[in-house]
Amino acid sequence: MALQLGGVTVEGCWEQVSRMADFRGIFRPELDALVAFLLREGFLFEAGGLLSFGE
């Protein structure tokens, strides 16, 4: 979604992921932890409230 839209909010990501059959067992705190990890490790960056890949 970040590539398709040029960035995505965490809430927008949750809205999409929570509806996918493969991710129905994931709860919001787990997504938040994953996003925090991806930000900390530099896989994602945040600018203007949007998450995207790279630098």
> Could you read off the pLDDT of 4-27 as tens digits, one per residue?
656 789 899 898 888 999 988 899
Phi, psi of 42 (to 5 degrees): 85, 10
Better-scored residue on pLDDT, 31 or 7: 31
- Are 38 and 47 contacting, i.e. CB atoms less than 8 angstroms apart? no
Pairing between β-strand 44-47 and β-strand 50-53 as defined by DSSP bridges: antiparallel
- Per-residue pLDDT for 2 more than 70? no
Looking at the 3D structure of the chain, how many domains does it have?
1
Classify 21 as helix, strand or coil.
helix
- Answering whether pTM is above 0.85, one says no
Better-scored residue on pLDDT, 48 or 54: 48
H/E element, 46? strand 44-47
What range defines the domain where residue 47 resides?
A: 2-53
Distances (CA, A) of 28 to 4, 7, 11, 47: 22, 19, 9, 21
